[in-house]
Amino acid sequence: MASTQADERRVQKIDVLVVGAGFGGMYALHKMRERGLKTQAIEAGGGVGGTWYWNRYPGARCDVMTIDYSYSFSNEIQQEWTWTERFCSQSEILEYANYVARKLDLFRDIKFDTRASSVEYDDAKRRWRIETEQGDVYDAKYCILSTGPLSVPKGVDIPGADDFQGELYLSARWPHEKVELDGKRIGVIGTGSSGVQIVSVVAHQASHLHVFQRTPSFSLPMRNAKMDPEYVAQIKKHYPAMREVTRMTFSGGTRPASSRPLFSVPVDERNAMLEEAWKTAGHNLLGIFSDLLLYKEANDVVADFVRGKIGEIVKDPDVAEKLKPKSEPIFARRPCLDTNYYEVFNKDNVTLVDCLSTPIERITPRGVIVAGEEIELDVIIAATGFDALTGALLSIDIKGKQGASLKEKWAEGARSYLGMAIQGFPNLFTTAAVNGPSALANFILLNEQNVNWINDLLDYMDANGFDTVEATEEAENKWLDRIALLASRSLMPKANTWYTGTNIPGKPRTFPMYAGGLGRYTEDCQLVAQNGYEGFDFYSEASPEAEAELAEEEAS
């Protein structure tokens, strides 16, 4: 931690540094300021909203219902804001984030276009030194990393990508200015949630669209609709009570969750339930039986049902067959929600390229080469995913006690306690991060739960005169055992996805998220607090430096 005098002059001494101004960072900033702490947030983007700031590709839309995907901590906010659609567009969610930031007067304490480069613990001072790529230096007692699970795009790992002379866009770094796509020859690489949403829209703009699909995804009909004002009024009237309930559900939302295992339901009734879910809201398919993520044979029934629907929609049997996912259980990779995705493959201007049998060999100045033939393109859209869960944290040089690096600690996979604290990294917190439910739960409610829990922990420290908290190694080990146990019961670790890290070459294969649901996770966290913050070591007032001075004085 070499620093010059000039460096020291520009150090800004604060209580809390929050990294990220997505929904987690925004709430963390608000809550820390509310408790009277001098708090600064830094954000790599040019505005608030995190993922919704960056992912502004055509068709970008949330796959969680808007009545759930919004802050619950302020009834004033949830009464004042009115969503227009069941599943809202990226632009409306971004507007909401800006509305909240204005309402809470957050902008004055967020420095935009500022990316954390290093976060280092000073053992002597028991404080964090945070440096940014833009040259800022902060000296903070606490550091909260709200960097999001899906914020580092994987990029285009295909030879020749730099040679392309047309327009190449990453879905997760979509330009702010209007991109003209009408009448162009477009190629979309990737068919996860982002790719599926893009394809469903640009198919209607392109002169010709090639969809480069490697692993097919299961996609379910979103059945989006305008909000009925009477429904909105009903929700608003009962919002606070409703939130109390949804916070303790598996997903953190109003999606149905059943206690009935699939085979407990007679076949006719079961089929009617599947049809009804498909007709009304595809995501209900995940919740109408209790064992779809636990029992492969039950899962197979729903997977077959969806494969059947793909076959009914897509007219060309060969194309339909290629679109049907076969290698993984349904829901083991996050299901996509779409609006007429499979339908676009009936259009004459859409061609599916099966990259499992014919991978993209390379990108050329004029297009891409597949099976030895060049497909000419004006635009390539890469929806190739993210270095998820750990990518953003590990892109920062984080060093804890005695200079120990997080990268080394996590070489074999992420290790933390409750997904909020890391042994060896005192007074450093993460929100909605790896080792918690993260992207498996309603992201906004999870962030609220995490920030509230951290806030309560700080209350406890204040009440007991502690100034430093650190997770113990034993607690971390036990927590990881719990995560592994929950994962072992789930089908989710079976797929090659960003959940398991297999989408990034060289990343260790793990299933690092808490698969027990938001409600159970919240109870686990509450229990830790009730047991006097079991699994944490606390230190009081004096820093080691001061303690050493005291010891010297006493000795003399």
Chain residues that interact with ligand NAP, rule: CB under 6 A = 61-63, 150, 157-158, 189-195, 197, 212, 214-215, 334, 337, 355, 360, 383-386, 439, 498, 503
Rounded Cα–Cα distance for residues 28 and 30 (Å):
5
Q: Residue 549 CB, nearest distance to ligand NAP (Å)?
A: 51
Nearer to ligand NAP, 334 or 409 (CB): 334
Rounded to an integer, what is the distance from CA 55 to the centroid of its chain? Answer: 12
Tokens of 524: 């686990």
Q: Could you tell me which residues are beta bridge partners of residue 189?
A: 212, 382
Nearer to ligand NAP, 132 or 339 (CB): 339
Q: Residue 215 CB, nearest distance to ligand NAP (Å)?
A: 3
Nearer to ligand NAP, 303 or 355 (CB): 355
Answer yes or no: are the C-beta atoms of 232 and 339 closer than 8 Å.
Answer: no
Nearer to ligand NAP, 160 or 311 (CB): 160
Task: Give me the amino acid identity at 315.
Answer: K
Q: Residue 202 CB, nearest distance to ligand NAP (Å)?
A: 14
Rounded Cα–Cα distance for residues 508 and 328 (Å):
20
- Which H/E stretch holds residue 12? strand 11-19
Backbone angles phi and psi of 360, in degrees to 5: -70, 120
Nearer to ligand NAP, 51 or 132 (CB): 51
Nearer to ligand NAP, 218 or 536 (CB): 218
If DSSP states are collapsed to H, E and C, what string results for 126-141? Answer: CEEEEEECCCCEEEEE
Distances (CA, A) of 212 to 105, 200, 363, 388: 44, 14, 12, 22
Tokens of 33: 């300021």
Strands (E), 229-290: none
Q: Residue 253 CB, nearest distance to ligand NAP (Å)?
A: 12
Nearer to ligand NAP, 213 or 299 (CB): 213
Closest CA to 383 of 193, 215, 107: 193
Answer yes or no: are the C-beta atoms of 417 and 479 closer than 8 Å.
Answer: yes
Q: Residue 225 CB, nearest distance to ligand NAP (Å)?
A: 16
Answer yes or no: are the C-beta atoms of 196 and 215 closer than 8 Å.
Answer: no
Q: Residue 350 CB, nearest distance to ligand NAP (Å)?
A: 17
- Which H/E stretch holds residue 498? none
Rounded Cα–Cα distance for residues 147 and 244 (Å):
26
Nearer to ligand NAP, 83 or 425 (CB): 83
Nearer to ligand NAP, 225 or 548 (CB): 225
Task: Specify burial of residue 357 (Cβ count, 10 A radius: 0-12, 13-18, 19+).
Answer: exposed
Q: Could you tell me which residues are beta bridge partners of residue 61?
A: 89
Q: Residue 70 CB, nearest distance to ligand NAP (Å)?
A: 14
HSE-up of 465 (CA within 13 Å, CB side)? 4
Task: Give me the amino acid identity at 409.
Answer: K
Nearer to ligand NAP, 256 or 359 (CB): 359
Q: Residue 453 CB, nearest distance to ligand NAP (Å)?
A: 23
Q: Residue 57 CB, nearest distance to ligand NAP (Å)?
A: 9
Residue nearest ligand NAP, CB atom distance: 192
Q: Residue 189 CB, nearest distance to ligand NAP (Å)?
A: 5
Answer yes or no: are the C-beta atoms of 504 and 387 closer than 8 Å.
Answer: yes
- Which H/E stretch holds residue 122? strand 116-122
Write the DSSP symbol of residue 272: H
Q: Residue 222 CB, nearest distance to ligand NAP (Å)?
A: 8
Nearer to ligand NAP, 25 or 149 (CB): 149
